[in-house]
Amino acid sequence: MILFLADFSVIRPEPGLLIWTTLIFLLFWGMMGKFAFKPIQKALKEREQDIQSSLDAAKKAKEEISSLQSHNENLLKLAAEERAAILKEAKEAKEAIISEARERAKEEAQKIAQAAKVEIEHQKMEMLINVRNEIGLMSIEIAEKLIHQRLSDKKESLQLTQKLVDEIRFEN
């Protein structure tokens, strides 16, 4: 056997070795095709289908996300428009309330001023009446004192009485 190996050369193969090597290779290739390549090919096909379905699902998810983004943008636009409308309404309502409050304040101020004028006029009239009454009372007191002083003399008091009676007759 050692001699067999010593005589063996890779560069010059023998025909029997070449036939047996080819036969074993073909047998091995057939068994590999049946038991290894078909399952590997099947697994690769399944993997390709899984990858394709994943890519399709990703594409569909991307389209849905794009659709949702555009929908969200529309919702944000609508929300911004609604917010602007609400702010505008609130501003108008605020201005209306302020304007109404100013009008009410002006009316109240006018009412208060008018009431104050009436009260001042009333107090002025009351003071004039009081002053006149005081002047009248003082005049009566002065007249009483003067009359009392003049009537102390009987002759003079008769003359004064006669004179006053004559004056009253001429006035009527």
On the question of pLDDT at 6 being above 70, the answer is no
- Please name the amino acid found at residue 41: Q
Residue-wise pLDDT tens digits, 57-95: 999 999 999 999 999 999 999 999 999 999 999 999 999
Provide the 8-state DSSP code for 10: S
Residue-wise pLDDT tens digits, 20-48: 889 999 999 889 888 888 888 899 999 99
Q: 8-17, 130-139, 158-167: which has the highest mean pLDDT?
A: 130-139
Place of tokens 């038991």: 35
Dihedral sign, Cα of residue 57, residue 59, residue 61, residue 67: negative
| Average pLDDT of the residues of the chain | 85
Q: 30-39, 99-108, 129-138, 145-154: which has the highest mean pLDDT?
A: 99-108
Could you tell me the residue ranges of all domains in the chain?
Answer: 13-167
More confident residue, 159 or 98: 98
Token pair of 99, please? 């304007």
Token pair of 125, please? 């009239």
Contact, 151 vs 160, CB < 8 A? Answer: yes
How much of the chain exceeds pLDDT 70, in percent?
Answer: 86
pLDDT (0 to 100) of residue 160 = 73
More confident residue, 168 or 101: 101
CA 55, 58, 61 angle in degrees (round to 5)?
155
Residues 6 or more apart in contact with residue 151 via CB below 8 angstroms: 157, 160
CA 65, 69, 72 angle in degrees (round to 5)?
135
Task: Report the SS3 class of residue 172.
Answer: coil
CA distances 79 to 22, 71, 89, 159, 160, Å, are 79, 12, 15, 108, 104
On the question of pLDDT at 7 being above 70, the answer is no
Task: Report the SS3 class of residue 8.
Answer: coil
- Where does the pLDDT of residue 149 fall: very low under 50, low under 70, confident under 90, or very high at 90 and above? low
